[in-house]
């Protein structure tokens, strides 16, 4: 068994597509919450394979996209402090803030370094004892435990020059906020696979129970996504609303207890601002008092400057699934991956980028 390849088999995909087409009689609007799912769906052309009864909507599950300008400006300001090494995941480099981006700051002389892991950021801290290494913590519950683990490691070793700017966010509260707003009606939710690996499928129980929306936790290979759509269609046809796990090899009901323990040992929920949605209570992660000394926000004096939002950009509405990229006047005309106006076009998981790069249309 070859784990990744086996879940890409075109023969098995045909079986699933056949099943979906046979079973789907009712119109169903399904949302994939996670940016990674949006990309996988676009990249493999999955929408083309689905019957016309199924409409797919993309949700706000792209941690880069939902990071607001005010927060990004903080990161840029920190990067500009002499002596600071700003370490970050690659996706954040090109996102435009109010006036600049981390990439631009780097070109102007700031020490901004791309890392694959907090392990690498910690190593940079150890190797540069006279500098201050700040890690830009962006990501949901998949990533937050890894950042928490790095704080614990730094604490254990006595690494005094490692800091975290936590912009981490939690998924369940924002899904609730979107459903409560009543702006969109969805008939089924494809739940994020790797967030669920950490938090467990139980975290989505409230969606099925309180909102009557069927949920299926999905992996990221084409077969995983097709299987999840198949399972959602089954529930829709029978009028059910339960939480099911399609991604059984990676997800359980309780999730990874150790990872959650570590995450909540270092972080506690706090208010957070989501681009397009606004402030959502208890949806962000802040460093606990016991780990204050690792908090970049309190350790440094910096001024991010006034926040400016990009004119004409409807990233916010795209993130809330109220509009699609095609509804945006700037899409493809002004806003392209080469000249992005908003983060949805920059982030490799942003809806706009995915639509731009992968949709096979004759429009262009």
- Tell which positions 88-107 bind another protein, by CB under 8 A: 89-91, 93-94
Distance from C-alpha of 224 to C-alpha of 237, rounded to nearest angstrom: 20
Residue 62 lies near another protein (rule: CB under 8 A)? yes
Which listed range, 68-76, 134-142, 273-281, 293-301, lies at the site for another protein (CB under 8 A)? Answer: 134-142
Q: Does 145 bind another protein (CB under 8 A)?
A: yes
Closest distance of CB 285 from another protein, Å: 15
Residue 259 vs 296, nearer CB to another protein: 259
In the numeric block, which tokens belong to residue 171? 């998924």
The nearest distance, CB 110 to another protein, in angstroms, is 16
- Residue of 309, 308, 322, 312 lying closest to 351 (CA atoms): 322
Strands 28-34 and 243-245 turn out to be unpaired
CB of 360 to another protein, least distance (A): 5
* Nearest distance, CB of residue 228 and another protein, angstroms: 11
Among 28, 30, 31, 46, binds another protein (CB under 8 A): 46
Q: How far is the CB of 88 from another protein (least distance, A)?
A: 9
| 28 scored as a contact of another protein (CB under 8 A) | no
Q: Considering the rule CB under 8 A, would residue 342 count as an interface residue with another protein?
A: no
- Which DSSP letter does residue 309 get? P
Which of the residues 165 through 184 are near another protein (CB under 8 A)?
A: 171
For position 262 contacting another protein by CB under 8 A, the verdict is yes
Q: Which of residues 189-248 bind another protein (CB under 8 A)?
A: 192-195, 197-198, 222-223, 227, 246, 248
SS3 322: coil
Q: Do strands 188-191 and 243-245 pair parallel, antiparallel, or not at all (unpaired)? A: unpaired
Kind of pairing, strands 267-274 and 278-287? antiparallel
Based on the shown chain and the rule CB under 8 A, indicate whether residue 15 belongs to the binding site for another protein.
yes
Query: Does residue 337 touch another protein according to CB under 8 A?
Result: yes
CA pair distance 31, 190, nearest whole angstrom: 6
Stretch that binds another protein, among 61-69, 267-275, 295-303, 312-320 (CB under 8 A): 61-69
Nearer to another protein, 38 or 302 (CB): 38
CA distance 47 to 56: 8
Q: Which residues pair with 244 in a beta bridge?
A: 216
Question: Between the CA of residue 330 and those of 239, 317, 340, 345, 357, what are the distances in Å?
Answer: 39, 13, 10, 11, 15
Residue with tokens 């087409």, as numbered in its chain = 21
Per CB under 8 A, the segment of 46-54, 175-183, 296-304, 305-313 that binds another protein is: 46-54
Q: Which is nearer to another protein, 310 or 337 (CB)?
A: 337
- Do the bridges between strand 215-217 and strand 54-61 make them parallel or antiparallel, or are there none, so unpaired? unpaired
Under the binding rule (CB under 8 A), the answer on residue 358 touching another protein is: yes
Strands (E), the chain: 28-34, 54-61, 84-88, 111-114, 132-137, 162-166, 188-191, 215-217, 243-245, 267-274, 278-287
Give the residue, chosen from 26, 126, 209, 258, that forms a contact with another protein under the rule CB under 8 A. Answer: 258
Instruction: Answer yes or no whether residue 265 interacts with another protein by CB under 8 A.
Output: no
**Three-state DSSP state, 240:** coil
Measured distance CA(134)–CA(102) in Å, rounded = 13
Within 13 Å, how many C-alpha atoms sit on residue 106's CB side?
A: 15
Q: Does 109 bind another protein (CB under 8 A)?
A: no
Q: Which of 56, 84, 86, 124 binds another protein (CB under 8 A)?
A: 124
Q: Is 10 in the site for another protein (CB under 8 A)?
A: yes
Could you say which of 28, 140, 204, 352 contacts another protein (CB under 8 A)? 140
Our finding on whether 360 is near another protein (CB under 8 A) is yes
- Two structure tokens written together for 237: 């046809």
Strands 278-287 and 84-88: unpaired
Under the binding rule (CB under 8 A), the answer on residue 249 touching another protein is yes
Confirm or reject binding of residue 70 to another protein (CB under 8 A).
no
Is 115 strand, coil or helix?
coil
Describe the strand order of the beta sheet including 215-217 as a list of residue ranges: 54-61, 28-34, 188-191, 215-217, 243-245
- What is the closest distance, in whole angstroms, from the C-beta atom of residue 303 to another protein in the complex? 28
């Amino acid at each position: 068994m070859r784990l990744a390849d086996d879940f890409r088999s075109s023969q098995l995909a045909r079986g699933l597509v056949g099943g979906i087409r046979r079973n789907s009689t009712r119109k169903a609007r399904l949302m994939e919450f996670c940016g990674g799912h949006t990309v996988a769906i676009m990249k493999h052309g999955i929408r083309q394979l689905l019957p016309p009864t199924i409409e797919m909507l993309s949700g706000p599950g792209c941690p880069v996209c939902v990071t607001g300008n005010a927060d990004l400006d903080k990161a840029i300001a920190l990067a500009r402090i002499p002596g600071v090494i700003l370490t970050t995941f690659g996706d954040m480099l090109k996102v435009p803030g109010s006036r600049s981006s981390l990439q631009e700051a780097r070109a102007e002389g700031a020490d901004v370094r791309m890392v694959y892991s907090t392990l690498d950021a910690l190593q940079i801290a150890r190797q540069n004892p006279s500098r201050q290494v700040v890690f830009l913590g962006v990501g949901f519950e998949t990533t937050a435990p890894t950042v928490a683990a790095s704080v614990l490691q730094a604490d254990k070793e006595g690494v005094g020059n490692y800091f975290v700017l936590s912009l981490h966010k939690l998924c369940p509260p924002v899904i609730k906020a979107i459903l409560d707003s009543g702006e969109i009606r969805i008939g089924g939710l494809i739940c994020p696979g790797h967030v669920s690996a950490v938090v467990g499928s139980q975290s989505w129980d409230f969606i099925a129970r309180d909102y009557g929306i069927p949920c299926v936790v999905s992996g990221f290979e084409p077969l995983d996504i097709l299987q999840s759509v198949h399972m959602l269609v089954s529930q829709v046809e029978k009028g059910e609303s339960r939480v099911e796990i399609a991604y059984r090899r990676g997800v359980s009901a309780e999730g990874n207890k150790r990872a959650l323990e570590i995450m909540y040992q270092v972080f506690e929920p706090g208010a957070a601002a989501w681009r397009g949605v606004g402030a959502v209570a208890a949806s962000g992660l802040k460093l606990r008092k016991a780990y204050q000394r690792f908090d970049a926000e309190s350790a440094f004096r910096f001024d991010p400057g006034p926040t400016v939002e990009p004119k004409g950009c409807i990233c916010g509405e795209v993130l809330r699934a109220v509009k699609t990229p095609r509804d945006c006047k700037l899409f493809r005309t002004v806003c392209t991956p080469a000249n992005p106006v908003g983060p949805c076009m920059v982030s490799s998981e942003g809806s706009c980028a995915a639509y731009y790069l992968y949709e096979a249309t004759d429009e262009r």
